[in-house]
Amino acid sequence: MITLNRLFDVEPWKIVENTLNTKDFRLAESVMSLGNGHMGMRGNFEEKYSGDFHQGSYIAGVWFPDKTRVGWWKNGYPNYFGKVINSTNFIGINVLLNSQELDLFSETIKDYSRELDMKHGVLTRSFTVIQDKKETSVKVTRFLSIAEKELAVIKYEIIPLNYDGDVTFIPYLDGDIRNEDSNYEEDFWVEVNKEVSSFEGSLTMKTKDNPFNTPTFHLTTTMKVEIDGPVRSVTSSIENEYVDNQIDLELTKGQSTTLYKYVAVTTDRDHEVGDLVQVGKDLLSKNIEKGYQQILKEHQEQWFKRWEIADVEIDGDPEAQQGIRFNLFQLFSTYYGEDSRLNIGPKGFTGEKYGGATYWDTEAYALPLYLATATPDVAENLLRYRHKQLDGAFHNARQQGLKGALYPMVTFTGVECHNEWEITFEEIHRNGAIAYAIYNYVNYTGDKGYLKRNGIDVLSSISRFWADRVHYNNKKEVYMIHGVTGPNEYENNVNNNWYTNLMAVWTLKYTLEVIEYLQSNNLDEHLKTLDLTDAEIAKWKEITEKMYFPYDKELDIFVQHDTFLDKDLIHASTLSPEERPLNQKWSWDKILRSCFIKQADVLQGMYFLNHEFTLSEKKKNFDFYEPMTVHESSLSPSIHAVLAAELGLEEKAFEMYHRTARLDLDNYNNDTEDGLHITSMTGAWLSIVQGFAGMRTANEALSFAPFIPASWNFYQFNIVYRDHYIKLNVCKDSVKISQQGSDLTLTLYGEKVQIPSEGTVIIPLKQKETTLQ
Ligand code: BGC
């Protein structure tokens, strides 16, 4: 069992911390992160903190190619690892109370609270600091506007409770920031320009030139400060990569003094370099004129709109409720689909580990949520992003001496930038997820037009890769794929990973189907330009017919890879808590030799191609693999929750739900201090919508088969499906589905149900059965 250390109060719309926990400070910083799609930062303090912390502010699409560092260079390794870079600290406000610097690490404080309000998208802190019996109450509010993406706002309010005195505020912009994970301890930024005057300042930094011909970026942060209180004097200072204002004020006992720091964060991704400062200043003037309350109101209205569509309500389980809202909040703070140049990085704006902007996580785990909770162009943008990166994928395949396209494991541009051989060269199953996402999008939205050009470009290029990557085993007269790493990264260089073979064959089949569709509907104009030969297509077909899939007759299961069953097959329940997580406690070779599975592997295939397997096949494989699975990838629990729910294993589904929904809040994998697991944050939603409610969409047919966990009174959510806006409510004894849109036919517990436009159906809730042996 895993021991949990709960740091935050359980509240439906808030994450609240009532103790300044210096030991788990980084963990809380991760959890208290804010983002607005354009920028984001960890829950850092504005004022000084001299304990251990991780200052982290990140700007979407701004990255640096950090020169690869490895022990033994292997041909084919990428030259660099692309990193989301830690950028100018623009939230900083140092505070001197009666000439004494406020440092929350060493100060005596009381009534401390830090609170992330997810409904309104606001982070607040409040505390009373006691210095030589002088008590000062402080309240800080911060938000990154989602109505005005380049705007960050901080309100810093202090009240001297039992004295008259003075305060100095030092709002600053600090560009001297480094990535903790820089390979050569390099500074990725150089200063370009700075200016400062009373109550304002600006700092422009540029990413260093690099030898890899990747783009450089300019980042300008511009601040304006407003004060509500009696200012005595203002001075400014300029240092290397730094500007500040020093504002002295008189404090009167019981009276509040407030500083507003407005910051514009502009980059040359959106504006001409020469305009960055002016654009920032204009944006600030325009907004300051509106006033703090109005800016906040516009920001909150946008959050309300998001919640109106995407909120999942759970009655009867406050922890589950808080968990899913936290996940949706952090996910939407990272990506809401407005900028087609962006994607969803595993840590979003909350940390540095993992680097890169895009993993297979997006297609495999995030796409279904965006399909159902946003307009179709958001999902299409995610597909187009990959289409635009096709050249990079051709490059990656060439690096391996192969034809076609190999989408990268980690990338900003399409070019692989991850450099561990077992992942870069071997974890090629990722290509299957990119193809599957096209099917998923077209099947869900009905937008077959996507296949004509972009869709077939990507599918045919991935198919060419698979056709070159397989080999024919003459003796056994089957095709095989050797030397891979499946989704389970706790085994490398295996032969015939069932999942990889499955997705390779599935991609080829789907591509052939799409070709047939385009040809028979006279939509093949673009297809003809792709020079696919008859021989090539015949070979694809042959591979689909003669692929080898490891299977054990006696156990009647698909075997994860050729030699998996030769291992010492024991259950994860035999591990002691001290050994978990294995990746932090065991040597790597011990992990590789063990049977323990990091994340869904065979079961990932059964999740994707759910409609192609019988319930009995799913049950046998689930029963065999799940007990060996340690879920040490945050992506793992949700897939298990969905399958367990389908199999009627309610307790397991519930356990997996909690694990995915509260992964970071309860720090299940003991690594939340590095940042949040953003791409896994769809997991709670997948568990409820596809798991508990049993939503399926294969073959362009919508169906549900809901159950409700024993401790819940009801749950409800909305989905957008084609032109329907559907609300599903599941309570102890009934399922209620309402919809807006044209007449809708769907399947509920295997029976066809018609719901007229603006109509509602209510039927009794069915009990799940686990009759399968
Ligand atoms: C998982 C990968 C995933 C990556 C980023 C790893 O721990 O094993 O499947 O792509 O994290 O989330």
CB contact burial 762-771 (16+ within 10 A = b; e otherwise): eeebeebeee
Q: Which domain holds residue 736?
A: 699-773
Q: Rounded to 10 degrees, what is the CA torsion of 503, 504, 505, 509?
A: 90
Evaluate: CB of 427 within 6 angstroms of ligand 1. Answer: no
CB 175 within 8 A of CB 57: no
**309-331 tens-digit pLDDT:** 999 999 999 999 999 999 999 99
Indicate the burial class of 401 (C-beta count within 10 angstroms; 0-12, 13-18, 19 or more): exposed
Domain-located, residue 451: no
Mean pLDDT is lowest, of 1-5, 133-137, 256-260, 645-649, for 1-5
* Overall average pLDDT of the 745-753 stretch: 97
* Overall average pLDDT of the 495-514 stretch: 98
Ligand 1 centroid, distance to 66 Cα (angstroms): 20
**489 is known as an active-site residue:** yes
Q: Closest residue (by CA) to atom 5 of ligand 1?
A: 346
Domain-located, residue 402: no
CB 664 within 8 A of CB 710: no
Question: How does strand 744-748 pair with strand 703-704?
Answer: parallel
In this prediction, residue 664 carries a pLDDT of 96
Which of 407, 634, 635, 636 is the pocket-test mutation for ligand 1 (most atoms within 8 Å of CB)?
635
Which tokens in the block code for residue 593?
A: 């030799």
* Overall average pLDDT of the 373-390 stretch: 95
Of 256, 284, 312, which residue sits at a domain end? 284
Which of 488, 633, 636 is the pocket-test mutation for ligand 1 (most atoms within 8 Å of CB)?
633
- Tell me if 360 is assigned to a ligand binding site: yes
C-alpha Rg value of the chain to the nearest Å? 27
- Report the chain's mean pLDDT, rounded to a whole number: 96
* Overall average pLDDT of the 473-486 stretch: 98
Ligand 1 centroid, distance to 633 Cα (angstroms): 6
The single-letter DSSP state of residue 768 is P
In this prediction, residue 450 carries a pLDDT of 98
Would you report the helix, strand and coil content of the chain in percent, each value rounded to 5?
Answer: 35, 25, 40
Instruction: Flag whether pLDDT at 648 surpasses 80.
Output: yes
CB 40 within 8 A of CB 702: no
Largest CA distance in the chain: 91
Residue 172, H or E segment: strand 165-174
CB 15 within 8 A of CB 116: yes
Which of 334, 358, 359 is the pocket-test mutation for ligand 1 (most atoms within 8 Å of CB)?
359
In this prediction, residue 32 carries a pLDDT of 98
pLDDT band at residue 353 under the 50/70/90 scheme: confident
**521-530 tens-digit pLDDT:** 999 999 999 9
pLDDT band at residue 6 under the 50/70/90 scheme: confident
In this prediction, residue 2 carries a pLDDT of 58
Task: Report how far apart, in Å, the C-alpha atoms of 347 and of each of 33, 83, 416, 589 are.
Answer: 11, 11, 18, 27
Cis peptide before 756 (omega within 30 of 0): no
In this prediction, residue 771 carries a pLDDT of 45
Evaluate: CB of 489 within 6 angstroms of ligand 1. Answer: yes
Of 284, 309, 324, which residue sits at a domain end? 284
28: helix, strand or coil: helix
Evaluate: CB of 425 within 6 angstroms of ligand 1. Answer: no
Evaluate: CB of 81 within 6 angstroms of ligand 1. Answer: no
- For 166, other C-beta atoms within 10 Å of its C-beta total 16
**564-614 tens-digit pLDDT:** 999 999 999 999 999 999 999 999 999 999 999 999 999 999 999 999 999
- Tell me if 361 is assigned to a ligand binding site: yes
Domain-located, residue 689: no
In this prediction, residue 595 carries a pLDDT of 98
Instruction: Flag whether pLDDT at 669 surpasses 90.
Output: no
Evaluate: CB of 360 within 6 angstroms of ligand 1. Answer: yes
Q: Specify the ligand 1 atom closest to the Cα of 633.
A: 7
Domain-located, residue 719: yes
Determine the Cα–Cα distance for residues 44 and 28; give it in Å rounded to an integer. Answer: 9
In this prediction, residue 773 carries a pLDDT of 41
Domain-located, residue 598: no
**421-446 tens-digit pLDDT:** 999 999 999 999 999 999 999 999 99
In this prediction, residue 4 carries a pLDDT of 66
Q: Closest residue (by CA) to atom 12 of ligand 1?
A: 346
The number of distinct structural domains making up the chain is 2
Which tokens in the block code for residue 143?
A: 């938000």
Q: In what order do the strands lie in the sheet with 714-721?
A: 313-315, 714-721, 724-731, 734-740, 760-764
Domain-located, residue 144: yes
Domain CATH for 262: 2.70.98.40
* Overall average pLDDT of the 40-48 stretch: 98
Task: Report how far apart, in Å, the C-alpha atoms of 704 and of each of 264, 709, 747 are.
Answer: 46, 16, 6
Domain-located, residue 125: yes
Domain-located, residue 720: yes
In this prediction, residue 117 carries a pLDDT of 98
* Overall average pLDDT of the 125-146 stretch: 98
The single-letter DSSP state of residue 547 is B
Instruction: Flag whether pLDDT at 538 surpasses 70.
Output: yes
Note the Cα 515 to chain centre separation in Å: 33
> If you count them, how many residues does the chain have?
773
Q: Shortest CA distance to 407 belongs to which of 470, 461, 353, 483?
A: 461
Instruction: Flag whether pLDDT at 30 surpasses 80.
Output: yes
* Overall average pLDDT of the 222-235 stretch: 97
DSSP of 45-72, one letter per residue?
Answer: -SSB--SS----EEEEEEEEEEEP--SS
Q: Rounded to 10 degrees, what is the CA torsion of 400, 402, 403, 407?
A: -40
Evaluate: CB of 346 within 6 angstroms of ligand 1. Answer: yes
Q: Specify the ligand 1 atom closest to the Cα of 489.
A: 8
Determine the Cα–Cα distance for residues 674 and 658; give it in Å rounded to an integer. Answer: 21
Task: Report how far apart, in Å, the C-alpha atoms of 739 and of each of 306, 420, 726, 756 are.
Answer: 19, 48, 4, 8
Determine the Cα–Cα distance for residues 717 and 518; give it in Å rounded to an integer. Answer: 36
Of 252, 284, 316, which residue sits at a domain end? 284
